[in-house]
Amino acid sequence: MAASPTGPLHRLMADFGIATVLLAAVDVQGRLKGKEYDAAWLVDRLRSGRLAPEMCGYVLGTDLAMTPASSGPFSWASGFGDVGLLPDTKRARLLPWLPGTALVLAEPIGGGWPHPLGPGTVLNEQLHRLAGLGVVPAVGIETEFVLYEGTARDAAAAGWRGLRPAVWDNRDYALDQPPVVREFGRRLREVLTGADMPVEAVKGEGGAGQIEVTFPYGQALAACEQHVLFKHAAKTIADEAGLTASFMAAPSTGVGSGLHLHVSLHDFDGRTMLASDPADGTELSELGEQAVAGLLTVLPDTAPLWAPYVNSYKRLQPHSFAPARFTWGHDNRSCAVRLVGHGRSLRLEVRLPGADANPMLALAAVLAGVRHGVEAGLKPPPATRGDAYLNREALPVPQCLAEALAAFETSALAGELLDEPVVAHLARVARLDLDHHAARVTDAELERGLTQA
């Protein structure tokens, strides 16, 4: 029997000859941040209690470019103190895309408890509160990204201009991908399977160079953690192949990459709570209707969790297969919430988050919406039939990060469901991205105004 690629760190060292350990936490952007350790040294120090891992707390409070904040708990004003890390060496994982390397995820802690501003803590709080209602979610994630020719270093040297997609036309569902794309997909599936993270499917998408990957259903936090590792693997494999994998929500005009969250709800015995007929029904139960109503109520106020950047909102355009209004419907891809499946497989596909979202925070917003709908006994509007982009009665999605941030910061509901310190913290992080773009002159502005203004 083949050795399992997951389990206690000391066993992975023996079974796979692990020499290097990445001790990492997940940052606000959904990236792995941490340090590399010699495996034997790390195990010895952790066992003897001679190592109490820490990292600069600003990892939990910076933007994409790691810009230090001026205020808040992780800022110049706070002095940039450390946060502790609690490594889970019993849940180590082999990383086949990095030879001889394993990952140990660590939970940020403060005062001996999970740090309240850590993305995993934010998600776990919503899971805990849902469990108090007798509801257990299962989650499947599908994400889109774009493959470009050349490495990120090449793109930076060219001033981020002239990016060429690895596929030059619409290859949605196509099975005649170019050799470089086929090999990338084969290698990605290989390393993910070797890490005990097999994908459900890989397919070409509608945008030039765009790929969609779907993962099987699983426990909510584990699904999000695995997605973070998947992005790490995809970027590493792409770079080795002389490519760049971009998870921007809108990497070019007219191209949008989504992070669709498929959420089903069960009781503690595993029975579906969404379907009115658990055997084969496609209609929502009363709790299912409450969940949909909660999503349509809460997601408008929590956009910075599922669309965190200025670029995120350039994906949310009419007739783009990304939602432009807060609607729901049966198997309707023009809606923000798509009801799909039947019986036990009936699920809510939340199509609002972009590929750039931290899945932990996006899912936290979704579960907060579900919880609010159930607790308040809400009723949803009628399901949208046909083109949801034309449903003028439904609230439009925010047009930009500034609009979304204003609603988020002033929302009593967001503060109640997520806690005020979390809202204030995530708003500060979003404002860093907003401030970065505010004074920058773009190529689009030059093209439009250089000679005509």
pLDDT in tens, 427-452: 999 999 999 999 888 888 888 887 88
Neighbours of 437 (CB within 10 A): 14
3-state secondary structure of 266: strand
Question: Beta partners for 210?
Answer: 146
Neighbours of 276 (CB within 10 A): 15
What is the identity of the amino acid at 301?
Answer: D
Residue 413 has which token pair?
């509901």
Residues in the chain where the model's pLDDT stays below 70: 1, 174
Give φ, ψ of 240 to 5 degrees.
Answer: -65, -30
Neighbours of 271 (CB within 10 A): 11
Average pLDDT, the chain: 93
Count of residues in the chain: 453
What is the CB-side half-sphere exposure of residue 209 using CA atoms within 13 A? 24
Neighbours of 198 (CB within 10 A): 11
Residue 440 has which token pair?
């920058």
Q: Are 134 and 268 in contact (CB under 8 A)?
A: yes
Closest CA to 30 of 113, 151, 119, 99: 119
What pLDDT was estimated at residue 174? 66
Q: What is the pLDDT of residues 116-153, one digit of tens each?
A: 999 999 999 999 999 999 999 999 999 999 999 988 88
Residue 55 has which token pair?
């990292």
Residue 397 has which token pair?
């999605």
Give φ, ψ of 174 to 5 degrees.
Answer: -70, 145
Q: What is the pLDDT of residues 276-311, one digit of tens each?
A: 988 887 899 999 999 999 999 999 999 999 999 999
Q: Are 76 and 69 in contact (CB under 8 A)?
A: yes
Q: Are 395 and 287 in contact (CB under 8 A)?
A: no
CA 400 remoteness from chain centre: 19
What pLDDT was estimated at residue 168? 79
What pLDDT was estimated at residue 176? 76
What pLDDT was estimated at residue 1? 65
Q: What angle do CA 332, 286, 138 make, to 5 degrees?
A: 65
Q: What is the pLDDT of residues 241-259, one digit of tens each?
A: 999 999 999 999 989 999 9
pTM given for the model: 0.96
CA distance 291 to 378: 8
Residue 227 CA: distances (Å) to CA of 24, 92, 366, 428: 15, 16, 17, 25
Residue 89 CA: distances (Å) to CA of 21, 222, 233, 377: 10, 15, 21, 42
